[in-house]
C-alpha cells in the first residue's frame, strides 16, 4: 500500500502499488543521486523484469515513500536497500522536489509522482556498491559533460523523464555541491 496524494502533496487515501501505476494515481517517490567529487553521476541499471522501465538506467537510488514515512526517511531506507550504504540523514543534500508524470511505452504503466531529489557525495569505488538482488543488475557512471553531449541512441539507455529532468532541472544544483 502507498499513499495517494493531491496536487498539494497531501495524503488523500491509500491504494496498492500496482493499482497506483495502472491508474496513474499521484504518489510520492524519492531519488538519490550518488555523485563523485570529480563530477561523475552513478546510475542504477534496472532489472530486466521490472514492471516499469525494465533494463534502463535510473537514479542511483529510487523508491516509493511508504505510508507514515517522510521523504528523507525513504531516502535513508532505500539507499541502504539498493546500495548497501547505511547513511545518516545529514549525509543527504536536498536538491529539489519535482512533479513528474510519465508513461512506460513498454509496460503501459504510468508513474505520476511528487519526487524528492537528493544528492550524496560518493567518495567510494563503484565496486563498493551492493546490487539489490532482483531489482537491479548493476551500476554505471557518466561524467556531467558526457551526459550533456549524448546522442539519441545513448539517451535511449535512460528512463526518459529521469534523463530529461536531470539535464534540465538538477545539473545546476548538483554542480553547486561538488
Q: CATH number for the domain including 59?
A: 3.90.79.10
- For 23-73, the pLDDT digits (tens) are 999 999 999 999 999 999 999 999 999 888 899 999 999 999 999 999 999
Backbone dihedral region for residue 38 (phi beyond 0: left; psi -120 to 50: alpha; all else: beta): alpha
Cβ-proximal residues to 172 (8 Å cutoff; 6+ apart), any chain: none
Domain that holds residue 100: 2-177
* Total structural domains within the chain: 1
Judge whether residue 133 has pLDDT over 90: no
**Mean predicted confidence (pLDDT) in 94-109:** 93
- 19 backbone dihedrals φ, ψ, rounded to 5°: -65, -40
* DSSP 8-state class, residue 85: -
Judge whether residue 134 has pLDDT over 90: no
pLDDT number for residue 58:
97
pTM to 2 decimal places: 0.94
pLDDT number for residue 178:
87
Residue 168 CB-density burial (10 A; 0-12 exposed, 13-18 middle, 19+ buried): exposed
Judge whether residue 170 has pLDDT over 90: yes
For CA atoms 96, 101, 106, 109, the dihedral sign is positive
**Mean predicted confidence (pLDDT) in 100-115:** 93
pLDDT number for residue 105:
87
Q: Could you give the percent of the chain with pLDDT greater than 90?
A: 93
pLDDT number for residue 76:
98
Mean pLDDT (the chain) is: 95
pLDDT number for residue 11:
98
Judge whether residue 106 has pLDDT over 90: no
**Mean predicted confidence (pLDDT) in 145-160:** 96
Alpha-carbon dihedral angle through residues 101, 35, 62, 103, given to the nearest 10 degrees: 30
The segment with the largest mean pLDDT, out of 66-75, 98-107, 130-139, is: 66-75
**Mean predicted confidence (pLDDT) in 81-102:** 97
Amino acid at each position: 500500500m502507498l499513499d495517494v496524494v493531491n496536487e498539494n502533496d497531501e495524503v488523500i487515501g491509500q491504494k496498492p502499488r500496482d493499482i497506483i501505476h495502472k491508474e496513474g494515481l499521484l504518489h510520492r517517490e524519492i531519488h538519490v543521486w550518488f555523485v563523485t567529487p570529480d563530477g561523475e553521476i552513478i546510475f542504477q541499471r534496472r532489472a530486466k523484469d521490472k514492471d516499469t522501465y525494465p533494463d534502463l538506467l535510473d537514479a542511483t537510488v529510487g523508491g516509493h515513500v511508504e505510508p507514515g514515512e517522510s521523504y528523507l526517511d525513504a531516502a535513508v531506507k532505500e539507499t541502504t536497500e539498493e546500495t548497501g550504504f547505511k547513511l545518516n540523514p545529514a549525509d543527504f543534500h536536498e536538491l529539489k522536489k519535482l512533479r513528474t508524470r510519465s508513461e512506460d511505452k513498454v509496460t503501459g504503466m504510468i508513474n505520476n509522482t511528487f519526487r524528492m531529489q537528493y544528492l550524496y557525495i560518493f567518495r567510494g569505488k563503484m565496486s563498493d556498491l551492493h546490487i539489490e538482488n532482483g531489482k537491479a543488475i548493476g551500476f554505471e557512471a557518466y561524467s556531467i559533460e558526457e551526459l550533456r553531449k549524448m546522442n539519441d541512441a545513448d539517451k535511449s539507455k535512460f528512463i526518459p523523464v529521469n534523463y530529461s529532468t536531470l539535464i534540465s532541472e538538477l545539473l545546476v544544483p548538483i554542480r553547486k555541491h561538488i
